[in-house]
Amino acid sequence: MGGAFLAAAVLARLGGRIGLPTIPLFILAGILLGPHTPGVVLVSDPHDMEMLSALGLVLLLFYLGLEFHLDDLKAGGRRMALAGGTYLALNVGAGLAFGFALGWGTSEALVLAGVLGISSSAIVTKVLVDTGRLGNPETKPILGIIVVEDIFLALYLAALQPILSGADSLSSAVLDAGKAFGFLLLLALVARFGTRVIGRLFSTRDDELLVISFLGAAVFVAGVSEWFGVADAIGAFMVGLMLGSTASGARIRKLVHPLRDAFGAIFFFAFGLSIDPGDLPTVLWPVLAAVAVTLAMNVLAGLGAARVYAFGPGPAANIATTLLARGEFALILATMAAAAGLDARLSPFIAGYVLLLAVLGPLTAVRSHWLARILPGRRETRVSELVG
């Protein structure tokens, strides 16, 4: 475990010097030091890291829930829903079509729809901070699209879980989906109307007690969620949603941050352990084709969002490139697919796809002005850009 942390840290430091995000480097560390690569093997059996990896996933989604507020839906209004819906329709739709075109199976196509359709909120946030664009006018629709994606993800995973678990019949599949949505609805109602009660339960001035309380709640609800057919990560997300609106929300965000970073790194590292580099060449062309599809859909989505907000080609290019990276959500789906025994090509495909876009995304975001030069509407919207 110590070697895993140190290896991830060393690679992340080296990558940071050339502007690479940490997620693909953590995965690369797992690949290089795993049982499938010649040389030093830190972990011979990836299952040895299974519990730590699960904890990392729970904390990643818990933190995301803390950052999300139900009030964001009201503040964004119709334009946020329209921009986010357009982004999802283009990318998820293209991902589903791409999955069927590969011919790997219906369940596999449904997984690929989510893999190609949903951006990495972790990398998107990091790109916005690193490029100094948090104050830009197009940042609000970017974050709005992320919010819409988060809502879609919760519903999508709840619907996908019964399909991947292999329900015996249509009635059992409907029953499993009903149980999952019912539990998800219960958590949503508690998050919406139980904030005051939850705030009192978690109210304490002692940081140690607060950490133990929110960590226990996140892990416990994640475990209960699995009983009801809801992905454990979504249960943790809903706990974060509940606690984020309480008086202790700001303190919890601060306290969970180092835990999220540490165990999140282990989650990505553990995923890398399961990847056999020898399998990557077998999915090279599908990966490159998927990256090309994602690039094209992101440009169209960026133009669509810019049109909704009356932006010019510069902000449109920023939206398209900032949302390009794929990361933690794709890996969640890869983990679910592997547990469900789906096509063995999915894991190396998703690993290669995530690695390529996690590197390509930040690099293209920094050079988005190149894309802006060829996008339509430059002269017509220049005045409105300056006014905005």
Q: Give the model's pLDDT for residue 100.
A: 95
Cβ burial, residue 74 (10 Å; 0-12/13-18/19+)? exposed
343 is written with which tokens? 């096509």
Q: Give the model's pLDDT for residue 93.
A: 95
CA gap 98, 10 in Å, rounded: 36
Q: Give the model's pLDDT for residue 387.
A: 37
Q: Give the model's pLDDT for residue 90.
A: 95
CA gap 342, 185 in Å, rounded: 28
Amino acid at position 343, single letter = D
Q: Give the model's pLDDT for residue 158.
A: 72
Cα angle 339, 101, 108; round to 5:
10
Domain boundaries, the chain: 53-374
Q: Which residue has 């904890």 as its token pair?
A: 55
Residues in the chain: 388
DSSP 277: G
The answer to whether 237 and 336 have CB atoms below 8 angstroms apart is no
Q: Give the model's pLDDT for residue 320.
A: 93
Q: Which CATH class is domain 53-374?
A: mainly alpha
Q: Give the model's pLDDT for residue 293.
A: 96
Per-residue pLDDT of the chain (388 residues; tens, 9 = 90+): 888 888 888 888 888 787 677 777 888 888 888 888 888 888 888 888 888 888 888 888 788 778 766 665 555 567 888 998 999 999 999 999 999 999 999 899 999 999 999 998 777 877 887 778 877 888 888 877 887 887 787 778 777 877 776 655 556 666 766 777 788 788 878 877 888 899 899 989 999 999 999 999 999 999 998 888 777 877 888 898 889 888 898 899 999 989 988 888 888 888 788 778 888 888 999 999 999 999 999 999 999 998 888 899 999 999 999 999 887 788 888 888 888 888 888 988 998 898 888 888 888 888 888 998 888 865 444 433 433 4
User: What global pTM score does this model have?
Assistant: 0.73
Q: Please choose, from the candidates 254, 240, 233, the residue with its C-alpha nearest in 3D space to the C-alpha of residue 56.
A: 233
